[in-house]
Amino acid sequence: MEHSPENTAQSIGQLLDTSKDALGEVGKDCATHGAYTSTGMRYKIGRMNREVWTPCPDCEEARLAGERQAEAEKAATAARLRLEAMLEDAAIPRRFIGRTLQTYNAETPEQKRALAVATDYADNFPQKAKRGDSLILLGAPGTGKSHLAAAILQAILPEYCGLYTTCSGVIRAVRSTWRPNSEKTESQVLSILFSVPLLVIDEIGVQYGTDSEQNILFDVMDRRYRDMMPTVLLANLKLKREKPEDPAGLREVLGERIYDRLTETARIVTFEGDSYRAQARKESAA
């Protein structure tokens, strides 16, 4: 059978012919919520006719609420997994995961001042990062420096990611790439240290302080300085009050070049008083 252009056009027109007619309202009964009013519509698409009646409004609201709850739980799970992944990537020591600025026990005036500085740094990190502002936390072991540094890293998540490492960890990471079977190149490791939004380096001064180690530190600190990338340094150094311009002897440990770059953009916070860890042990034993 042959189809003329006119017949073909008519068939297409029939397929594209759509209309809808109101069927009015009828009373229906829901097994769960009882009587309700349903509104009907008849839809015509070509040769197909279909009637659609509105469901029980309470059932529909329950269905939508369930979908919203499922979406919220899905989003919360995704956010939790993302945060857990970011915490893992940040390499924060397990002992300090979950320790926040709010849980820091500031008793001495120095600790209260340090907490205020750390809180301001975390709360205003977008501005701090834009300017490349850094922090240097100095003091005796156990005064809470690592707690505050880890708390800052966790406070800026998930908007900003960071990395927690030690000075010896930086040196080992770079030196490990010198092995013939290394999975990463030196440039790949340095690229991470150069570009992470916030780099925390603990145990400054524990390294041997050789020229080679100072050169590695210089490469990292100099690049971050030039790229205006913020850094937080922690040093367990005995305060040397006879040198007020360099209260912890960082110039000797880090070298002249790193020290000059740090002190240009970093705020120095000193911790004095009793050991934070010793106080925590006393409280747990009480």
3-state helix, strand, coil in the chain (%, to 5): 50, 20, 30
Assign 67 a pLDDT band (cuts: 50, 70, 90).
very high
The pLDDT value given to residue 276? 56
Q: Is the pLDDT of residue 247 over 60?
A: no
What pLDDT is attached to residue 14? 54
Q: How large a percentage of the chain has pLDDT more than 90?
A: 38
Q: Which residue has the higher pLDDT, 9 or 105?
A: 105
The yes-or-no verdict on residue 59 having pLDDT over 50 is yes
- Say which residues have a Cβ less than 8 Å from residue 120's Cβ, sequence separation at least 6: none
Question: Average pLDDT, stretch 250-267?
Answer: 80
Where do runs of H (alpha helix) occur along 144-201?
Answer: 145-155, 167-176, 186-195
More confident residue, 243 or 32: 32
Work out the pLDDT band at 282, boundaries 50, 70, 90: very low
Query: CA–CA separation, 143 vs 14, rounded Å?
Result: 83
- 214 against 269, higher pLDDT: 269
* Model pLDDT, residue 9: 47
Position 235 scores a pLDDT of: 86
Instruction: Say if residue 273's pLDDT is above 60.
Output: no
Q: Going from the N-terminus, what domains does the chain have, and what CATH number goes with each?
A: 91-285 (3.40.50.300)
